[in-house]
Amino acid sequence: MSSDLKDLVLDFLADRPHQAGETVQCGWFVFRIVRSGSPPEIETLDMKRVASFTTDFTEAERICQLQNEVINRHQVDASPCTLRHSALVSKSYSPGNSEAFLKHDRSSAGTDSGWYVGVHVEPLDMDDVDSFELRSLYELTIKDMRMAPYWLLPEGFLVHLDTGKVERFDP
């Protein structure tokens, strides 16, 4: 089965050296080369379990389409964010929480995405560093797929995960 995302990665690899076992990042996603050659055989993360790959690109295509729809709807340029980036997460948050939100502040450097995952009614002390943890966007997405469409929004966006309402703010 061919997909636009898969074709994009194969086009990228067509004139570059590559070997089986290597990974390739394309946009928000990471792909693994299973067999080198022309064309190479590649896999995508299945988005169900950490480090689990599949040759079925259906879920990756769906996420890519959702991300593009959000960027187009809000008429912004995509943030250079990947599933390898991390977010600061309130320990009050749990997957599927109806009070959960995403807030994209300024990133500091490296793998910091600038995203914060919190809950609207925060019972923890926001001045206590032990109230937070760092998690990868990949891990967060696997556990709460509601987040997947929004990771490419630039700084200055607040997303209410229960309703999908997106608001702008001045970062």
Q: What confidence score (pLDDT) does residue 93 get?
A: 98
Kindly report whether the global pTM for this prediction surpasses the value 0.85. yes
Q: How far apart are CA 129 and CA 70, in angstroms?
A: 32
What is the per-residue pLDDT across 7-65, written as a single tens digit (0 to 9) for each?
Answer: 999 999 999 999 999 999 998 999 999 999 999 999 999 999 999 999 999 999 999 99
User: Do the Cβ atoms of 154 and 76 come closer than 8 Å?
Assistant: yes
**pLDDT beyond 80 at 130:** yes
For the chain, the domains span 4-68, 76-168
List the 41-45 sheet strands across, edge first.
23-26, 29-35, 41-45, 53-54
Specify the range with the lowest mean pLDDT, choosing from 27-36, 69-78, 86-95, 103-112.
103-112
Measured from the Cβ of residue 23, the count of other Cβ atoms closer than 10 Å reads: 12
**pLDDT beyond 50 at 132:** yes
Q: What confidence score (pLDDT) does residue 110 get?
A: 85
Phi, psi for residue 136 in degrees, rounded to 5:
-75, 150
**pLDDT beyond 60 at 2:** no
The pair of structure tokens assigned to 6 is 């898969």
43-52: string of b/e by CB count within 10 Å (b at 16+)? bbbbbeeeee
